[in-house]
Amino acid sequence: MAKLIYSSISSLDGYVADEDGNFDWAVPEEEVHAFINDLDRPVGTYLYGRRMYETMAGWEIDPTLANQSTLMEDFAKIWQAADKTVYSKTLEAVSTTRTRIERDFDPEAVRQMKALAGRDLIVGGPDLAAQAFKAGLVDELHLFVAPTVVGGGKRSLPDNVRLKLELLDERRFGSGMVYLYYRTRRTR
Ligand SMILES: NC(=O)c1ccc[n+]([C@@H]2O[C@H](COP(=O)([O-])OP(=O)(O)OC[C@H]3O[C@@H](n4cnc5c(N)ncnc54)[C@H](OP(=O)(O)O)[C@@H]3O)[C@@H](O)[C@H]2O)c1
């Protein structure tokens, strides 16, 4: 059975975007980018909330991103090669290939995807991920913590979810970013 992984880059106080919607402080520098490329390389499918999808679609529709460095070109290829499911009630059409829209988040459908997938899945966008956490679908967390405190904004992890976690790995980067790799343990 494939794993569902929640992946996020947040501030030390746990926000993926600050109160103005900015997350420029979360942009990974080269060493972190190379590490993320290797983490994402084996992933077969991304499950995105519409907002996260709109940001990530740039890796296919905005060639200036991939053209910035060989690392970014590598990530663009990894991203484009994976399947994407975007959850949205408002999005009329997708702008990227290998992408389908789901109008509702159905935990049973995601359970089926995990059972049938040959490669792991990543869920991204805290609003969507909260639903996966609440349904007990998230197996692992790849959390990157940026060396900054932003004081408010969009929380990476949901309210009203309790998880026991097993730390599988950790790493510090020269930029001060820290990677925490956890496996979830069921509490109920
Ligand atoms: N830190 C970083 O590295 C980083 C990187 C990229 C982006 N960001 C930021 O991260 C934030 C994303 O946060 P988010 O939690 O608001 O967004 P999200 O989870 O990516 O997307 C939320 C949207 O997903 C759709 N959705 C969620 N649940 C659904 C359901 N059950 N059925 C159908 N559609 C559903 C809805 O779209 P509709 O409204 O279309 O129905 C909803 O508005 C943004 O602020 C973004 O700028 C941070």
The predicted-structure confidence for 16-52, as pLDDT tens digits, reads as follows 999 999 999 999 999 999 999 999 999 999 999 999 9
Q: With b meaning 16 or more CB within 10 Å and e meaning fewer, what string describes 148-183?
A: bebeebbbbbeeeeeeeeeeeeeeebeeebbbebbe
Neighbour-count burial of 86, counting CB atoms closer than 10 A to its CB (0-12 exposed, 13-18 middle, 19+ buried): buried
Q: Tell me the CA–centroid distance for residue 84 and ligand 1, in Å.
A: 14
Confidence of residue 159 (pLDDT cuts 50, 70, 90): very high
Query: Which of 40, 48, 52 to mutate for ligand 1's pocket (most ligand atoms within 8 Å of CB)?
Result: 52
In this prediction, residue 146 carries a pLDDT of: 98
Q: Is the CB of residue 59 below 6 angstroms from any atom belonging to ligand 1?
A: no
| Contact by Cβ (8 Å): 118, 45 | no
Q: Give the predicted TM-score (pTM) of the model.
A: 0.96
